[in-house]
A and B are shown apart, each in its own frame.
Chain A
Amino acid sequence: MEKLLQQHKVYIVDDEQKSREALVHILEKYCPNVQIIGVSSNIDDAFQNININTPDILFLDVEMPNGSGFDLLAKFDKIPFSVVFVTGFDKYAMQAIKFSCLDYILKPISIKDVMEIFEKIDNLPIKKEQKIETLLNNFQANATRHKIGIPVGDGYEFLGIDDIIYLEAEGNYTNLFLNNNKKVLSTRTLGDYETIFENYPFVRIHRKHIINLNYLSKYYRGDGGYVLLYNNIQLDVSRRKKENLLNKINAI
């Protein structure tokens, strides 16, 4: 018996016409199990239509002049669909998306990326509710407790950023050391985390380590010196990262 591929109802929100056309073209040509149920150029129109006809997957542009993709998500009480962001080169949007471990594709859209997304959706159970919650929580301007989704071996773990004491490179993986004495092994590299945490009080002090400055209790000067963290954790500071550390300490 032929394997019945799941039929996906897709909705597309993008303010740029050429971008919408490209995505529609790829979906129609390369994804036979996709049904495009609607296309919108702004979030208000999209909100109305989606409420009437709910998709399985929403391809959502982030940067739009009359309200961003995040704004659209914030309008829903409950989100019963998967979200795939479509973004160009917006640093903050990328950071927010990576934080929440939501799916995204980059412009210009490649056929391969789109197909990989569907493969992922078909094969992986996604905790989409929690991801979106994380995203919207962090997206709020006055959010007090920022959360981050950590891709781990068998899925995702959602942590408060403030709970992370430091991160340690473990090959291409990263160990996160938490203030409850737990350790989480993430499948992201330490370099990824350095980028993700760029606007947070985290600083790379060594090629092996990123520390949360909120847990820094003392810095001992030396060639590079070393830091003393919460619970008397002692970590070396590399020569070239010393200045970086001092700059960030001074900036606080």
Chain B
Amino acid sequence: MPNNYIYDIDGDKEGNVYVGTYQGGISHFRGKEIIDVHHIIDSKAEMYDILVSHDQSLYVSLEKLYKLDLNPRTNKLKEKRIVYNSQVKRMSQIKPNFMSFTNGSSVYIWELGQDSMYLYPTLYSHNNVKAYNILYKNDYELYIGTTNGVYNLLFPINDDLPKTQKVTKRGEDLALKSNIRYVVDKKITKKQYFNLIPIDIFEEDTYKKEIFKDSTSIDYYISDMQKTSDGSIWISTYKNGVYRIKDHKIIKHYTESIKELTSNLCNRLFIDKQDRVWVATMRGISLIDYPRGMIRKITTDDGLVSNHITSIFKHDSLIYVGTSEGLNILDEKSVSSLNSAPPILIEEVKINEKNVPLKGQYKLKHNENSLYFKFNSISYNQKITYKYRIKNLDDKWLYTKDNYIRIPKIPKGKYVFEVKSINKDGLESLEKAQVFLQIKPHILYSFWAYLTYAILLILSVLAFVYFNIKRVRDKEQLNTQMAELEIKALQSQMNPHFVFNSMNAIQAYIFKNETEKASSYLSDFSTLIRSFLELSRKTFISLGQSLEAVQLYIKLEQMRTEDKFDFVLDIAPDVEMDIEIPTIVLQPFVENAIVHGLLNKKEKGILRIILQKKNEYNLIIRIEDNGIGREASKALKQNKQRKHPSRGMQIVEEHLNVLSKNKDYNLQIDIIDNVLDGSGTIVIMNLPID
């Protein structure tokens, strides 16, 4: 306010109040905020201290100490009475009906409402002593911090004079140069804290100095010291803000530079019942609500008559503010900057542009993810802004002046939509309005879908493994089969019948002294054996190789049987010798024709092998003999009870079965009994050409 003399206050219909001042015209206060603010006393004197005693009396120290009577309903001044006719620096309620005060050089005890008061003579006897604060220790004791050290005052008993004891005497040799200003203590603790410049901490009984490392960092002139119930000492300075000290360390320094104080120039501290620290500064009041971690301010915006605050006292909900321009009383309930913004409610929710009933929680499908929220503060005549966030999507708060918000396309997940209102002082609503959201994933991405995928994957892996194992096993089985076939093929070619007959033949040549024939037969025989050994390791060999071996075999049989049969090999010119045929096919049929057909015939027989191409893809091998034929041979076999079992055919059959199964090689064999002259056999093989 430009000036401090108010001659008229008037209110208009809208609740605005116009205050006319003597010199400066009109100040404008907004709305209701001024209603409980009372400009009680107009005084040029600095308001050193304010006290509301236990009996609800209000004492104010100006150029004199006044007791003020207010109308309890309107808080208008009814009456003021002088208690002490001189300036009082500090006041303190000590017992229910006593107060103590000091004018800086003397300390008085006054029983409230009485005419007389006690003066502590010891202090009085020192001329230059200045008292700075008064601390109530118990019902019988006070501490006074003075420029001459700390005094312990005992109450007068039975109208005796009050006794004074200088407590720091014992600690004088501890560099106490009598400049103790403040005694900060609560009776519950053992510790006492005395202020020097810089600060020292002393133990109560021994006055032993305790270590306080940060003491030199508080080198500004100290204006006040107070203690909160957590044991923190709060120190205000005239130039450098407020320090909080705990466990012998500065744990926080409050300054205006980081908006924690209205000003660094601090006059007084007041600790209220909720342990909040009220700081009276040259630019308003700062409220450090450290238990709740909040800082607020009260300035002329809230109706203070001045921002130059010299003292502060709080009683119940009333804040008594001593300013350079008088006393203000504010009800904290009506100071908007002390209150949070009005509560907020969500009014309307739309999903995909359709209104839905209000709920605390929404479970939504993957495509129900475009949301709209409308919210409102309970109507209040001030500008409200909002902050909101979608927790889990983006935890950062976003600000808006609109009372609705549109959120397009939220991905699947769980979120909380939160919104708070903010009043013009930047204070938020205590409660936030919130809606829990769950956007379910698309069915293809749901848990069940993933489970299905997992099962399918496992099944396909299992199937893959199973079929691989089966394949390897089949292959192993095939390899075993092929190995067995090799042995069987060799067995069928080198059958004992042939081997021993050949040896027999050689022996016969030796007996007859036909050495050259023996040698020749032997070397052919060994060549044949060698080729049997070599070729039987292969499943397929060339037609040329096969014919070479079979011709050698025939030659040996002819030699052995002294040309019992003739042999004709008839190869069509277009038959290539590099056509591949199974190793085993030729020799067993030739052997059959010779052994079972031709050798049992009385006359000279003939063996014919005819090769011709049926077409580009088929080779025909005909093995013809004019032997006794299969029927006669079978009968002969039974008669003779021959020991050589005809396993050749059986082995060929097995062999060809395996080839058909494993190599996809299909060979067709027809055996025809020669019907022309009732004897002989024709074997016709139809071999695929690869």
- A residues with CB within 8 A of B: 89, 106-113, 169, 171-172, 189-191, 195, 206-208, 238-241
Contact = CB atoms under 8 A, between A and B. Distances in A.
Contacts of B690: 206-207, 238-241
Contact of A89 (B520, B533, B579, B663): B533
A142 to B, nearest CB: 29
A89 B580 CA distance: 25
Contacts of A110: 519-520, 522-524
Given A108-B523, A110-B519, A172 B533 contact: no
Interface of B: 516, 519-520, 522-524, 526-527, 530, 533-534, 540-542, 544-545, 576-580, 663-665, 690
B385 to A, nearest CB: 71
B520 A112 contact: yes
A239 B659 CA distance: 13
Given A207-B542, A240-B663, 15 more contacts: A108-B519, A108-B523, A109-B523, A110-B520, A111-B519, A111-B520, A169-B578, A171-B576, A172-B577, A189-B544, A189-B578, A191-B542, A195-B534, A207-B579, A207-B580
Contacts of B524: 110
A108 B526 contact: yes
A34 B533 CA distance: 34
Contacts of B516: 111
Contacts of A206: 690
B578 A208 contact: yes
5 contacts: A106-B527, A109-B523, A172-B577, A207-B578, A240-B663
Nearest to A189: B544
B540 A240 contact: yes
Nearest to B665: A240
B656 to A, nearest CB: 14
Please provide the 9 A-B residue pairs with the shortest distance between their CB atoms, ordered closest to farther.
A110-B523, A238-B690, A191-B542, A169-B578, A207-B578, A108-B526, A207-B580, A108-B522, A111-B519
A227 to B, nearest CB: 16
Contacts of A240: 540, 580, 663-665, 690
A239 B664 contact: yes
B177 to A, nearest CB: 100
Contacts of B533: 89
A189 B542 contact: yes
A190 B578 contact: yes
Q: B533, B534, B541, B580 — which one has the most chain A CB atoms within 10 A of its CB?
A: B580
Nearest to B529: A89
Contacts of B545: 191
A93 to B, nearest CB: 14
Contacts, number: 58
Contacts of A238: 690
B161 to A, nearest CB: 118
A54 B533 CA distance: 38
A85 B544 CA distance: 26
A49 to B, nearest CB: 29
Nearest to A30: B516
A214 B541 CA distance: 25
A111 B523 CA distance: 9
Contacts of B580: 207, 240
B579 A191 contact: no
B530 to A, nearest CB: 6
Contact of A107 (B526, B534, B540, B544): B526
Q: B516, B527, B665, B690 — which one has the most chain A CB atoms within 10 A of its CB?
A: B690
Nearest to B533: A89
Given A240-B663, A240-B690, A112 B542 contact: no
A76 B579 CA distance: 45
Nearest to B579: A207
A191 B579 CA distance: 11
Contacts of B523: 106, 108-113
B540 A191 contact: no
B570 to A, nearest CB: 19
A113 B544 CA distance: 21
A195 B577 CA distance: 16
A85 to B, nearest CB: 15
A191 B544 contact: yes
B646 to A, nearest CB: 29
Q: B520, B526, B527 — which one has the most chain A CB atoms within 10 A of its CB?
A: B526
A99 to B, nearest CB: 17
B281 to A, nearest CB: 89
Contacts of A89: 530, 533
Contacts of B579: 207
A228 to B, nearest CB: 21
B526 A172 contact: no
B665 A191 contact: no
A225 to B, nearest CB: 13
Nearest to A170: B578
A89 B531 CA distance: 10
Contacts of A113: 523
A214 to B, nearest CB: 24
A106 B578 contact: no
A151 B542 CA distance: 21
A238 B665 CA distance: 12
A169 B544 CA distance: 13
A112 B522 CA distance: 12
Contacts of B541: 191
Contacts of B542: 189-191, 207
A111 to B, nearest CB: 5
A240 B530 CA distance: 26
A226 to B, nearest CB: 14
A239 B533 CA distance: 26
A142 B523 CA distance: 37
B663 to A, nearest CB: 6
Q: A112, A113, A172, A191 — which one has the most chain B CB atoms within 10 A of its CB?
A: A191
A103 to B, nearest CB: 16
A172 B519 contact: no
A238 B690 CA distance: 7
Nearest to A208: B578
Nearest to A22: B519
Nearest to B521: A110
A238 B578 CA distance: 14
Contacts of B534: 195
B438 to A, nearest CB: 51
A190 B520 CA distance: 29
A172 B544 contact: yes
Contacts of A108: 519, 522-523, 526
Given A109-B523, A239-B690, A191 B578 contact: yes
A27 B522 CA distance: 18
Contacts of B520: 110-112
